[in-house]
Amino acid sequence: MFSWLDYLVRLLVEGVFNLPLSTRVGASLHFFIYDVIKIVILLAVMIFLISYIRSFFPPERTKEILARFGGVKSNIMASLLGIVTPFCSCSSVPLFIGFVEAGIPLGVTFSFLITSPIVNEAAFAILLASFGWKIALIYVLAGVVIGVLGGIIIGKLKMEHQVEEYVWQIQTGQSQVKELTPKERAVFAWNNVKEIVNRIWVFLLIGIGIGALIHGYAPEALLAKYAGADNPFAVLVAVALGIPLYSNALGTIPIAEALISKGVGLGTALAFMMAVTALSAPEMILLRKVIKPKLIASFVAVAGLGILLVGYLFNFIMPVAASAG
């Protein structure tokens, strides 16, 4: 999709800067310029498109749709709606209260809460930029599967008493927000592009910079040996490292791309990304306002375990990842 860009940047690096791509400096510089331009283009386009679609699915509507389903079907619906419902961690508390108050089971609510942050537009755009369609879609699918299974397990644990008492007493009013015009949807989508790019560009540049260094300088044999697909501990370490990192660490994706091209397992890299986006400390602190520590711990454990399994699965089915870069 971006071979034209690859070619243009090659012309720039080799022709203007006089640095052949076979040299380390040349390879690093090419990776950096190429990746920055590619990610900015994809980020803007994807966030705009996805935000536009999302403006049709406000959480108030999602709640109504979910209340109509039952059983496993409701977990699946919750996960799927988690993809399209706009969500930021600052909204997780009112969202949680709204779901609980509407009588949506706890497990279904968690299916939504797990999938929603994993499958976010920025992660999707950067995955698309770094790995291409196939892996971006597999990532989405994995996010849904983790959400569905995680929600079912949390539902089975019967932890309703772990929700703070006041939540059950809240009476929510009926809301009726008017339908948006196409222009208002476009403004909403464009604002999202600005906001997300604003929030992550520093991390992205740092990430691409580190990725570029890895690209030019990292010893391939060493990385493949210690973090390759056949090392089961690599996934574990990746998830453990990813949980405390804040969700802004989307800059990790270009690092992951470079690492994969040097032989790090694809599952290891995906598990790391999911852990970073799904399990962030700020979100836990917010959720503490409505649920007790034991349920938060179960949430982290179940989602973390799911991510771990996805990591192993990918390392198993795609032991040698082909970088689409």
Binding site for another protein (CB under 8 A): 55, 58-60, 63, 86-88, 90-91, 93-95, 97-99, 101, 166, 170-177, 184, 187-188, 191, 195, 286, 289-290
Nearer to another protein, 56 or 233 (CB): 56
Is 247 within 8 Å of 286 (Cβ atoms)? Answer: no
Question: CB of residue 172 vs another protein: minimum separation in angstroms?
Answer: 5
Nearer to another protein, 86 or 325 (CB): 86
Question: CB of residue 202 vs another protein: minimum separation in angstroms?
Answer: 15
Angle, CA 307 vertex, CA 58 and CA 123 arms, to 5°? 50
Question: CB of residue 100 vs another protein: minimum separation in angstroms?
Answer: 10
Please report which residue ranges of the chain form alpha helices under DSSP H. Answer: 3-10, 24-54, 59-66, 71-84, 92-101, 106-118, 121-131, 133-156, 165-169, 182-217, 220-227, 232-242, 252-261, 266-278, 281-287, 293-317
Residues 6+ apart with CB under 8 A from 18: none
Nearer to another protein, 56 or 217 (CB): 56
Nearer to another protein, 7 or 166 (CB): 166
Question: CB of residue 103 vs another protein: minimum separation in angstroms?
Answer: 14
Residues 6+ apart with CB under 8 A from 236: 308
Integer Rg of the chain from CA = 21
Nearer to another protein, 287 or 309 (CB): 287
Question: CB of residue 199 vs another protein: minimum separation in angstroms?
Answer: 8
Which tokens belong to 3? 């071979």
Question: CB of residue 77 vs another protein: minimum separation in angstroms?
Answer: 16
Is 17 within 8 Å of 33 (Cβ atoms)? Answer: no
Nearer to another protein, 282 or 319 (CB): 282
